[in-house]
């Protein structure tokens, strides 16, 4: 296992590393002190003294660690490669390189100081880099009293929680590394080092990607007299053998070579694999031709980029970032793996600046071409400060009967897409292929299980119990499944003002626990129904509260909209108007889904004689999957959550895009049909493939976002869009001449085994903001007016503490929304 020490300068990281390795001669400040090391007594390591670990001249001169050093040792259970990272603020660059080697870290905190600035900086960087497992060693315990040790432990646990680690369950050992080295006070010295080693022996071994193409980020380059050039580093994935051809790329350079020697901790090897710390002897390459930060890889398996699009979170001043906003062309240093490179921030045309504490989609213009892959983590720094980092995580919230059922169908599909079993474990090689993509929706437990980052909530237990007892019951943590004892009785007021208030704090607390471990939360995805009591009333209350707590985070929802002629509740118009009014300012985009439109889609396209909610929900979850595919899988054109708002919502209130999906095709038809990109694109504009009953020919499109999956190339997409623009029945507003946003994800859609949808090689989901959607609002408003004119059923709402005036206020707001859509179509 690759492990290492991190922490504040002079807290004893190198001393602890020396204490673990074998005893020889340690020159301590007090002469003639005997020197001991725990593992040396068992003959399980070669001792590395403090001076050997801090071997560079500058390190010896200043008495601090500057470079990351690697030593090895063994316990009874396993072998370790141990990286000793610098703790000084001036050498965070080397700390990032060292931490990238680690799979587990030992956080060293001095009992005399507690957590210090670099303790927090190292925790932040460790989380950004992706280190999930920590063990804490409170050093210098011999110099502090028991009360102080207890206070330091409490402080450390709180700090761990702040940076997304499991503060409650992280093992903490208090001892003295110096006592272990000097053979003094074994109760805080030798015995505590043994206890620490026992603790790290219990840390689960990480999964190794041995079946992927070989990749080794270069950490150091050496010229060995009489042999040639040697590069060192940790093999990130794949395997390499003697005489294997390799490519060295990065910093605008590409060289070919052959591996003529492999060495691991002074042992010659014929082959090395993912996770190994190795030195590779390369043929025909000079020392000055390669540098740290380049990668050694299987030929043609990697490419270089100097201009990328990235989703980043900029740290606020409170989190240790900048106080001033970031403008376009601001220069900073980007760190990833073992490389760092200057780059300029390039902001979208419609964005003047990025504020500290804000998520943003930016472009990075590198001064040199570097090796970057989709989903790769990186850190942004300037003037000695960590400014931000790139990562994308989402929390899903499923509310009410419809929301919970849709959510259950979605997670069934997501698990199939990512190779996750119903137990949360991975399907071997299939799962490893998508492991990097899983961070968006899943969090990994200490036991290697993947848990959805999701909450299921309903005011009564029936549908949540179906999840608790269903096929995927072991997938979710019990705390994620929340239900009350009384339902909302199809009453918005009951969900918002009545029984919903009794459950709101519990749900918010569970959401908070999901959010805290996230290193770069992008936003929230809701599924719910407008017509139900919990879906309308409780969701409105939840969004109001979440706007205060997570105001800057994106909030998207997939909402079941009342069908024109089919209704599951008489008071659906009341609930829908009230919840639309209540959430209009709290949600960024609402994708409307009409049960009748989806029912007709299943009936005509899939030949399902009597579609059930299962049929409908599986079609809906294909839409949700396509919408989030760019966050999870690689592609040539990516679209993230924030871009939906930027490209689809011209004004804050006009945020109700219509959804279309193609092909909706059965397995029998799929044998005889293979739709081209042009046919798929055209199908999205046909009413039968829309998921809301309205006629787009009577309105104008403001913007269309086409999300393609599978075997699709940009050239075909451009040709298809050009054809669409020539059709007279498809009109765009004259103030938005561009009209189209495109996303392409290489991962084809996944079909649920035993489902109605066929497995296809390509598909497209269209999210379109059209003025025709006002037809659906007008239809709903008429139903509302007919009932409210007679004050029918109003007493049930007033009886739950809601004022009658709220009906009028909501209706006026919806009338204004209708008017907004009409005026937009006329603007020039």
Closest by CA position to 406, among listed 627, 618, 641 = 618
User: What's the CATH code of the domain at 336?
Assistant: 2.40.30.10
Name the more confident of 49 and 467.
Answer: 467
pLDDT (0 to 100) of residue 672: 60
User: What's the CATH code of the domain at 135?
Assistant: 3.40.50.300
My answer on whether 23 and 135 are in the same domain is yes
Q: Which strand (E) or helix (H) includes residue 716?
A: helix 714-725
My answer on whether 480 and 548 are in the same domain is yes
- Boundary (domain end) residue, out of 266, 297, 328: 297
User: What's the CATH code of the domain at 799?
Assistant: 1.10.287.600
Per-residue confidence at 578, pLDDT binned at 50, 70, 90? Answer: very high
Among the options 236, 417, 643, 800, which is catalytic? 643
For residue 647, being part of any structural domain is answered with yes
- Say what percent of the chain tops pLDDT 70: 86
Per-residue confidence at 781, pLDDT binned at 50, 70, 90? Answer: very high
My answer on whether 377 and 403 are in the same domain is no
My answer on whether 161 and 49 are in the same domain is yes
pLDDT over 60 (residue 712): yes
In three-state form (DSSP H/G/I as H, E/B as E, the rest C), the secondary structure along 719-752 is HHHHHHHCCCCCCECCCCCCCEEEEEECCCCCCC
Structure token pair of residue 344: 């300029």
Structural domain of 419: 394-775
pLDDT (0 to 100) of residue 638: 63
For residue 406, being part of any structural domain is answered with yes
User: What's the CATH code of the domain at 703?
Assistant: 3.40.50.1440
Residue recorded with tokens 């761990």: 160
pLDDT (0 to 100) of residue 792: 94
My answer on whether 311 and 452 are in the same domain is no
My answer on whether 120 and 241 are in the same domain is no
pLDDT (0 to 100) of residue 622: 94
Residue 141: how many CA atoms within 13 Å on its side-chain side?
31
Closest by CA position to 135, among listed 208, 48, 58, 196 = 196
pLDDT over 60 (residue 41): no
Residue recorded with tokens 């080092």: 193
pLDDT (0 to 100) of residue 446: 63
pLDDT over 60 (residue 135): yes
Residue recorded with tokens 């509310």: 399
Name the more confident of 805 and 730.
Answer: 805
Q: Give 695's DSSP letter.
A: -
My answer on whether 128 and 16 are in the same domain is yes
For residue 262, being part of any structural domain is answered with yes
For residue 209, being part of any structural domain is answered with no
CA dist 775 and 323 (Å) reads 46
My answer on whether 380 and 417 are in the same domain is no
For residue 206, being part of any structural domain is answered with no
Q: Is 324 exposed, middle or buried (0-12, 13-18, 19+ CB in 10 A)?
A: exposed
Give the tens place of pLDDT for each residue, 169-197: 899 999 998 998 888 888 888 889 989 99
Beta bridge partners of 261: 281
pLDDT (0 to 100) of residue 771: 92
For residue 207, being part of any structural domain is answered with no
Per-residue confidence at 611, pLDDT binned at 50, 70, 90? Answer: confident
Give the tens place of pLDDT for each residue, 477-527: 999 999 999 889 999 999 999 999 999 999 999 999 898 877 667 789 999
Q: Give 226's DSSP letter.
A: T
- Boundary (domain end) residue, out of 297, 313, 344: 297
pLDDT (0 to 100) of residue 499: 92
The secondary structure of 526-545 as a DSSP string is: EEEESSSHIIIIIHHHHHHH
- Cis status, amide bond into 561, omega within 30 of 0: no
Closest by CA position to 708, among listed 663, 672, 665, 671 = 663
pLDDT (0 to 100) of residue 69: 57
CA dist 791 and 143 (Å) reads 76
The secondary structure of 561-597 as a DSSP string is: EPPSS--S-TTHHHHHHHHHHHHTTT-SEEEEEEHHH
My answer on whether 408 and 366 are in the same domain is no
For residue 179, being part of any structural domain is answered with yes
CA dist 77 and 581 (Å) reads 61
- Cis status, amide bond into 663, omega within 30 of 0: yes
According to DSSP, the β-strands at 740-745 and 701-710 are: parallel
Residue 111: how many CA atoms within 13 Å on its side-chain side?
21
In the chain, the number of structural domains is 5
Name the more confident of 333 and 682.
Answer: 682
pLDDT over 90 (residue 332): no
Active site residue 425: no
Chain-centre distance for alpha carbon 506:
24
My answer on whether 503 and 618 are in the same domain is yes
The answer to whether residues 483 and 460 touch, using CB atoms and an 8 Å cutoff, is yes
pLDDT over 70 (residue 741): yes
Give the tens place of pLDDT for each residue, 268-283: 999 999 888 889 999 9
pLDDT over 70 (residue 97): no
Give the tens place of pLDDT for each residue, 211-240: 889 999 998 888 887 788 999 988 988 999
My answer on whether 698 and 669 are in the same domain is yes
Name the more confident of 458 and 342.
Answer: 458
Per-residue confidence at 572, pLDDT binned at 50, 70, 90? Answer: very high
My answer on whether 377 and 339 are in the same domain is yes
Coil, helix or strand for 136? Answer: strand
Give the tens place of pLDDT for each residue, 631-677: 787 766 666 677 777 788 888 999 999 999 999 988 777 666 678 99
CA dist 371 and 304 (Å) reads 5
* Range 156-177 average pLDDT: 89
Per-residue confidence at 206, pLDDT binned at 50, 70, 90? Answer: confident
- Boundary (domain end) residue, out of 201, 232, 257: 201
For residue 780, being part of any structural domain is answered with yes
Give the tens place of pLDDT for each residue, 374-402: 777 787 877 556 566 565 689 999 999 99
pLDDT (0 to 100) of residue 259: 94
């Amino acid at each position: 296992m690759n492990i290492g020490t991190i922490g504040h300068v002079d807290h004893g990281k190198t001393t602890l590393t020396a204490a673990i390795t074998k005893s020889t001669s340690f020159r301590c400040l007090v002469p003639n002190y005997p020197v001991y090391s725990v593992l040396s007594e068992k003959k399980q390591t070669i001792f590395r003294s403090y001076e050997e670990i801090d071997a560079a001249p500058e390190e010896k001169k200043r008495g601090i660690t500057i470079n990351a050093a690697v030593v090895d040792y063994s316990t009874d259970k396993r072998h370790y490669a141990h990286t000793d990272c610098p703790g000084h603020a001036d050498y965070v660059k080397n700390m990032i390189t060292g931490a990238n080697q680690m799979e587990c870290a030992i956080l060293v905190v001095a009992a005399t100081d507690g957590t210090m600035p670099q303790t927090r900086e190292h925790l932040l960087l460790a989380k950004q880099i992706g280190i999930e497992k920590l063990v804490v060693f409170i050093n210098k315990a011999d110099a502090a009293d028991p009360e102080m040790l207890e206070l330091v432990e409490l402080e450390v646990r709180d700090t761990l929680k702040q940076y997304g680690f499991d503060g409650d369950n992280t093992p903490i050992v208090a001892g003295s590394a110096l006592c272990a080295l000097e053979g003094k006070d074994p109760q805080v010295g030798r015995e505590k080092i043994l206890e620490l080693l026992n603790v790290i022996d219990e840390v689960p071994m990480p999964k190794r990607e041995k079946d992927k193409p070989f990749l080794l980020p270069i950490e150091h380059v050496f010229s060995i007299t009489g042999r040639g050039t040697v590069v060192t580093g940790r093999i990130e994935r794949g395997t390499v053998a003697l005489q294997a051809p390799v490519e060295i790329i990065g910093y605008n350079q590409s060289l070919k070579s052959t591996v003529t020697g492999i060495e691991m901790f002074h042992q010659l090897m014929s082959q090395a694999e993912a996770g190994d710390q190795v030195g590779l002897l390369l043929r025909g390459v000079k020392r000055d031709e390669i540098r740290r930060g380049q990668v050694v890889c299987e030929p043609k398996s990697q490419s270089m980029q100097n201009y990328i699009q990235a989703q980043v979170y900029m740290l606020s001043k409170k989190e240790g970032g900048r106080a001033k906003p970031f403008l376009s062309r601001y220069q900073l240093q980007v760190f990833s793996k073992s490389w760092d490179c200057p780059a300029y921030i390039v902001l979208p045309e419609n964005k003047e600046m990025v504020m500290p504490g804000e998520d943003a989609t930016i472009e990075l213009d590198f001064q040199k071409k570097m090796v970057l892959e989709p989903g790769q983590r990186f850190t942004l720094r300037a003037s000695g400060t960590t400014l931000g980092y790139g990562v994308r995580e989402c929390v899903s919230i499923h509310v009410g009967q419809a929301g919970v059922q849709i959510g259950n169908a979605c997670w069934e599909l997501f698990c199939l897409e990512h190779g996750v079993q119903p137990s949360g474990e991975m399907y071997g090689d299939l799962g490893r292929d998508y492991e990097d993509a899983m961070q968006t929706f899943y969090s990994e437990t200490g036991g290697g299980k993947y848990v959805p980052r999701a909450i299921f909530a309903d005011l009564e237990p029936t549908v949540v119990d179906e999840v608790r007892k269903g096929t995927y019951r072991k997938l979710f943590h019990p705390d994620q499944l929340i239900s009350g004892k009384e339902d909302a009785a199809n009453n918005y007021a009951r969900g918002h003002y009545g029984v919903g208030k009794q459950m709101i704090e519990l749900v918010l607390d569970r959401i908070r626990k999901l959010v805290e471990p996230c290193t770069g939360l992008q936003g929230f995805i809701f599924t719910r129904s407008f017509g139900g009591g919990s879906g309308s009333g409780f969701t409105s209350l939840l969004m109001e509260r979440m706007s205060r707590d997570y105001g800057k985070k994106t909030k998207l929802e997939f909402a079941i909209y009342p069908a024109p002629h089919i209704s599951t509740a008489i008071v659906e118009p009341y609930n829908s108007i009230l919840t639309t009014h209540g959430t209009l300012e709290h949600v960024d985009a609402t994708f409307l889904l009409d049960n009748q439109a989806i029912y007709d889609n299943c009936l005509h396209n899939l030949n399902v004689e009597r579609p059930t909610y299962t049929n409908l929900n599986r079609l809906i979850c294909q839409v949700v999957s396509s919408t989030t595919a760019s966050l999870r899988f690689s592609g040539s054109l990516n679209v993230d959550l924030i871009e939906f708002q930027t490209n689809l919502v011209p004004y804050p209130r006009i945020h109700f895009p219509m959804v279309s999906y193609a092909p909706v095709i059965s397995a029998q038809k799929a044998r005889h049909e293979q739709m081209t990109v042009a046919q798929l694109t055209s199908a999205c504009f046909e009413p039968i493939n829309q998921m809301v009953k309205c006629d787009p020919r009577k309105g104008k499109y403001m913007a269309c976002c086409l999300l393609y999956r599978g075997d699709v190339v940009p050239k075909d997409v451009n040709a298809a869009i050009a054809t669409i623009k020539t059709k007279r029945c498809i009109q765009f507003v004259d103030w938005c001449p561009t009209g189209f946003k495109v996303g392409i994800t290489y991962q084809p859609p996944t079909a649920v085994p035993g489902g109605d949808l066929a497995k296809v090689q390509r598909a497209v989901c269209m999210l379109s903001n059209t003025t025709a959607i006002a037809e659906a609002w007008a239809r709903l408003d008429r139903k509302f007016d007919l009932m409210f004119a007679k004050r029918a059923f109003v007493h049930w709402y007033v009886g739950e503490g809601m004022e009658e005036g709220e009906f009028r206020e909501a209706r006026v707001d919806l009338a204004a929304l209708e008017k907004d859509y009409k005026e937009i179509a006329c603007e020039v």
